[in-house]
Each structure stands twice: as C-alpha cells, then as structure tokens.
Amino acid sequence: MPERSQADVARIVGVSPSAIDQTAQKFNWQARTAAWEEELDRRARNAELAEIEKMAKRQVQIATGLQEAGALELEALVKRIRYVDLHAKSQPPGSPPRQPLTSIKDIVRLVESGTKLERLNRGEPTEHTEHSMSWSDLVRKHKGE
C-alpha cells in the first residue's frame, strides 16, 4: 500500500479501526514496517553499490585501453620518425622539412586521459597538491586574527 495508515487498512479490510489497532499491536506492525523499510533501503544501497562497482570496472577497462592505444600509437610514431630520419638523407637539398606523421599531442592526451580515468576508478588521487603554512600563520589563524 502506498499509505500505511491503520485507518486505511481498517476501511479496505472492512473492520473497525480498533480491531486493526489491536492486530497491529499484537503483531508489532510498526517495528515490522520499519524493519521492512530498512531492508528495502539496504537492498537499494546494495544495488547502487553493485552498479558503481560495474561502472568502475568498465571505466578502468576503458582507461587501460586508452593507455594501450596511446602506447601503441607512440611506438608506431617513433618507428615512423626513425624511418623518415633514415631516409631524410636521400631527400634533395632544400626540400621542406618533414611534417609530423601523427600528432604527439593527441597521443599524449590519450595516455593522460587513460591514466587519469584509471587512477580515479582505483580510488587514487589524480593530482597532488601541497599546502604549506608557517607556524606564525597557523597561530594567527587559530587565534582568529
């Protein structure tokens, strides 16, 4: 029932409110209802935690995939650069310098994004910050100055 009033139960069942009140007291309906609500909340929390866990695993897979893709692209870029450098000597003098074959910036973004996502989903900090305060500043702050 959406509403759990004893008066509504009495009306629906077709008995007197005092009969419902006696039954409620005898079978401890109030405590049982509270326990059932707690159980429903527990189930909902567990379901939510399970979904969060699935999400984290999925995102870690994505993160490591991004890192692997970035590492493969970086490896391929290094090979192409070496190949072009080996053959650059055969280019005629005054020819334009070679253009990057792949954007290093894109590769770095892939690796950084993958690393950040993995750290987030493994519960590790993605940034380290340092706060420093002199002893006199700390004392002034404590005194409310």
pLDDT tens string 17-62: 999 899 999 999 989 989 999 999 999 999 999 999 999 899 889 8
C-alpha dihedral (83, 84, 90, 96), degrees to nearest 10: 180
More confident residue, 144 or 120: 120
Sole residue written with tokens 């894109």: 106
State the pTM of this model: 0.50
CA atoms within 13 A on the CB side of 53: 6
CA atoms within 13 A on the CB side of 90: 4
Task: Please list the alpha-helical segments (H only) found in 14-103.
Answer: 17-26, 29-88
* Separation of alpha carbons 132 and 139, rounded Å: 13
Query: Is residue 102 over pLDDT 70?
Result: no
The structure tokens listed for 141 are 């702050």
